[in-house]
Amino acid sequence: MSAVLTEPSQGPRATEDQVRRAPKVLLHDHLDGGLRPQTIVELASECGHELPAQTADDLGRWFAESADSGSLVRYLETFDHTVAVMQTAPALTRVARECVEDLAADGVVYAEVRYAPEQHVETGLSLDEVVGAVQEGFEQGMSAALEKGQRGIQVRHLLTAMRHQARSREIAELAVAWRDRGVAGFDIAGAEAGYPPTRHLDAFEYLQRENAHFTIHAGEAFGLPSIWEAIQWCGADRLGHGVRIIDDITVADDGSVELGRLAAYVRDMRIPLEMCPHSNVQTGAAESIAEHPIGLLTRLRFRVTVNTDNRLMSGTSMGKELGSLVEAFGYGVRDLEWFAVNAMKSAFLPFDERLALISEVIKPEYAALAAEAAGGPGVSAG
């Protein structure tokens, strides 16, 4: 069916300072993909894990080079080192605390951070102990942000099951058991090709019966069938990445746009897309930021959200992701607000809490930024 393209906001391009100060909402961030290099060095020394570099600076460069190498093997190797140093409760608590501190410093007001509990039990921790250690770190980080006088931040867990393993029902039950203690929902991650989400249908059916939220990594490395199964067979609330939905959209030479049935459904049903521009370029899901499908999908008014995926591997932050989109597409303050409101509307948080963050934090702060840009009093976007 035909679709109409919208233009970015008519206001001026957002400045670097406005991007820095803007309140941000993050829905797709991996705990084991966001460690500080210095923390990895120190934790590796404690547990005897051998690293490919000995100093934080050298290690940071190794992660960046490996992630940018174009080799999936080298990219995945980076996680061998982060997960290896996250096998004790104190290590998990430290990593979780620092994650929240870093997000707060980046201007994030709400975040859902995901990790796979099953990957952190090598030294004898139970799944419950893993989640408890991470929750302790999140609480410490949220308190530390307030003590530093920073804008408040709320952080929730997404518990991930690995799609090539067979523990998804167990992890889904863990997510339900912890949903009143910091866990917002469930996710599956890992290689899409050969491991369709329908392999974990029992976990998704269980979550639906329990009225629980879940997202599914789909449409990143694999195409439309992965997205279709995630939505129509498994009932995903959101799509992790969802970049390949672009394959169901045709742009004619005259600029007219036609949406295929699946793309139209995703847009019409307001299914959120957890897009991670820099990560998608690294993994080959997009050629460049300027050519990333997020530009067209935003103009078509899909429920687009902007995320970091793996801050260490991509050398990124929410500020960098949004700043790159501003540079590529000329977005203004109101466009950044649209991304933040989209994400907050899509969060696995009770409606009244989402509404409070939108009306009491996000819109007022963006109105102030827009007023600065216009040189006068601003009116919050509807």
Q: Which helix (H) or strand (E) is 326 found in, with range? A: helix 318-329
Assess whether 220 carries a catalytic annotation. Answer: yes
Closest CA to 128 of 77, 177, 67: 177
Report whether 206 contacts 172 (CB < 8 A). Answer: yes
Which of 220, 229, 274, 337 is flagged as catalytic?
220
Sheet strands side by side (includes 154-162): 24-30, 108-115, 154-162, 183-189, 214-218, 238-241, 273-275, 304-306
Opening angle at CA 344, ends 355 and 25, nearest 5:
130
> Which residue type sits at 382?
G
Mark 21-44 as b/e (b = at least 16 C-beta within 10 Å).
Answer: bbbbbbbbbbbbbbbbbebbbebb
**3-state SS class at 88:** coil
Pairing of strands 249-251, 257-259: antiparallel
**Can you read off the two tokens belonging to residue 63?**
């992660």
Q: Which helix (H) or strand (E) is 168 found in, with range? A: helix 168-177
| Residues annotated as catalytic (active site), given as ranges | 220
